[in-house]
């Protein structure tokens, strides 16, 4: 069997060196990056596509565009860039690289927590400003106070609520506990309100609405699915503590961006930080309400979807992708999504 492997985005991480057992042979074509206008031509002869974030939609997955396609290998944990239903309907296999960046992403989540709680971006800007308010007033602590004038919380005062308790959520919970936080884990939104009614595996979960009300730190570590789009929006944010900070290191769209900005503006919550956006890459307010002039001065910290980026994650992604694709070629499938 000969496979035409097409890797669409070498920009994110290097590809592994595949070593398929005889009689399997392959040709590997890789691109630094792929624009949507180039996609169909590049994948037309592929039997295997390797993708990270380029959208592989139903049109790209049609037999007319990809007549020879058999496998879509996502060099990431999240598979929301691939139309899984279209793959399922056609009988195409989709695999991913699970847990490659658990340590790095959880550490980034905690770094965003500290940035939001300690208002690092605002304090940096105020310290750099000329004329100097610090010099004139002898202190900048007013910038760190809550709306009621109280100073910020420290870790042992925090209640860390976690939405999404897979490997990433568990790692974040472990770090939060080590920092002295009280950790609570949310049941699915709309799950039975009485803990005794929850499935046995979820006995330690707390009803979704209660987690929102109790949390002073809310960290989102859920996959993006049709069910989790706008999971956190205006009603949820209004129910939260005015001392709370919301941290999203999962996927854009799970937290409604307009609602999040409004919540910080109106003081429903104390601040927010996100590594992810509905539209990526972003450029200014035309792409996201989290950017632009109207959020300047607000306690909102943003990073450009880099929570995963570290030496260990790069090595893990390469190793997992290699093992996963080679296993599929021998009929011993691993890391199967569809």
Which positions are annotated as active-site residues? Answer: 251, 280, 305
Alpha carbon of 96 to those of 163, 185, 198: distances in Å? Answer: 22, 26, 30
Closest CA to 20 of 338, 290, 328: 328
d(C-alpha 79, C-alpha 71), whole Å: 13
Q: The tokens of 194 are what?
A: 């009485």
Work out the number of other CB atoms within 10 angstroms of the CB of residue 75. Answer: 26
- For residue 109 the two structure tokens come to 């989540």
Identify which of 273, 265, 215, 207 has the alpha carbon closest to the alpha carbon of residue 244.
Answer: 215
Answer for the pair 8, 31: CB distance below 8 angstroms, yes or no.
yes
CB contact at 8 A, 251 and 223: yes
With left for phi above 0 and alpha for psi between -120 and 50, is residue 261 left, alpha or beta?
alpha
Does residue 52 sit in helix, strand or coil? coil
| 186: helix, strand or coil | strand
Give the Cα separation of 268 and 241 in Å (integer): 7
Helices (H), the chain: 36-43, 84-90, 102-117, 120-128, 133-137, 167-178, 208-214, 234-238, 257-266, 311-329
Distance CA 108, CA 185 (A): 19
- The closest of 31, 21, 183, 35 to 113, measured between CA atoms, is 183
Instruction: Kindly report the length of the chain.
Output: 338
């Amino acid at each position: 069997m000969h496979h035409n492997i097409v890797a669409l985005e070498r920009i994110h991480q290097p590809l592994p060196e595949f070593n398929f057992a005889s009689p399997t042979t392959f040709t590997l074509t890789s691109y630094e990056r792929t624009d949507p206008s180039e996609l169909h031509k590049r994948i037309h002869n592929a039997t295997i596509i390797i993708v990270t974030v380029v959208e592989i939609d139903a049109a790209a997955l049609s037999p007319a565009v990809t007549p020879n396609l058999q496998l879509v290998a996502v060099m990431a944990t999240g598979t929301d860039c691939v139309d899984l239903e279209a793959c399922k309907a056609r009988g195409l296999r989709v695999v991913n690289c699970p847990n490659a960046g658990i340590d790095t992403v959880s550490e980034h989540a905690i770094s965003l927590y500290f940035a939001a709680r300690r208002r690092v971006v605002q304090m940096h800007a105020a310290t750099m400003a000329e004329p100097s308010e610090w010099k004139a007033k002898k202190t900048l602590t007013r910038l760190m106070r809550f709306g009621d004038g109280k100073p910020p919380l420290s870790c042992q005062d925090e209640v860390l609520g976690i939405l999404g308790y897979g490997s990433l959520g568990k790692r974040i919970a472990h770090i939060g506990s080590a920092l002295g936080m009280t950790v609570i884990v949310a049941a699915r939104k709309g799950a039975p309100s009485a803990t005794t009614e929850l499935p046995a595996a979820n006995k330690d979960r707390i009803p979704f609405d209660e987690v929102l009300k109790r949390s002073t730190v809310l960290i989102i570590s859920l996959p993006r699915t049709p069910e989790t789009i706008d999971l956190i929006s205006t009603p949820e944010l209004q129910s939260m503590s005015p001392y709370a900070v919301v941290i999203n290191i999962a996927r854009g769209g799970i937290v409604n961006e307009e609602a999040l900005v409004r919540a910080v503006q109106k003081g429903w919550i104390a601040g927010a930080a996100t590594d992810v956006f509905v539209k990526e890459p972003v450029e200014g307010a035309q792409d996201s309400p989290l950017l632009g002039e109207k959020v300047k001065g607000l306690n909102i910290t943003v990073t450009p979807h880099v929570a995963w980026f570290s030496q260990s994650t790069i090595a893990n992604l390469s190793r997992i992708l290699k093992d996963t694709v080679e296993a599929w070629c021998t009929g011993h499938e691993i890391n199967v999504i569809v």
